[in-house]
């Protein structure tokens, strides 16, 4: 599946906010968790466009952190 053109950070930040506000799982969080799993690279990380200004834009570290939190909070139970 080719999901180039979007990253996990922007919509992932919305789910991060849901988790910290103790929002329950719903069809939106389920769909996002499936998308995050599909976007993970074979190397085990989530690619991101590095920002040009340090600490102001998204990068790989932020993408990995947000994606990991999203999957931990709203991902499917262990298979």
Q: Are 70 and 20 in contact (CB under 8 A)?
A: no
Give domain status of residue 33, yes or no. Answer: yes
- 79 or 42, which is more confident: 42
Give domain status of residue 1, yes or no. Answer: no
Structure-block tokens of residue 22: 């103790």
Label residue 63 exposed, middle or buried (CB < 10 Å: 0-12, 13-18, 19+). Answer: buried
Domain housing 65:
9-74
Give domain status of residue 43, yes or no. Answer: yes
Q: Tell whether pTM > 0.75.
A: no
First vs last C-alpha separation in the chain: 21
Condensed to tens digits (0 to 9), the pLDDT of residues 10-66 reads 677 788 888 889 989 898 888 888 888 888 888 888 777 666 665 555 677 777 888
State residue 10's pLDDT score. Answer: 66
Give domain status of residue 64, yes or no. Answer: yes
Q: How many domains does the chain have?
A: 1
4 has a pLDDT exceeding 60: no
Give domain status of residue 61, yes or no. Answer: yes
Give domain status of residue 4, yes or no. Answer: no
């Amino acid at each position: 599946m080719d999901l180039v053109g979007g990253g996990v950070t922007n919509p992932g930040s919305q789910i991060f906010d849901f988790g910290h506000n103790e929002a329950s799982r719903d069809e939106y969080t389920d769909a996002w968790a499936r998308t995050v799993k599909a976007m993970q690279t074979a190397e085990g990380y989530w690619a991101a466009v590095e920002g040009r200004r340090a600490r102001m834009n998204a990068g790989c570290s932020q993408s990995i952190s947000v994606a990991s939190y999203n999957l931990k909070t709203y991902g499917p139970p262990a298979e």
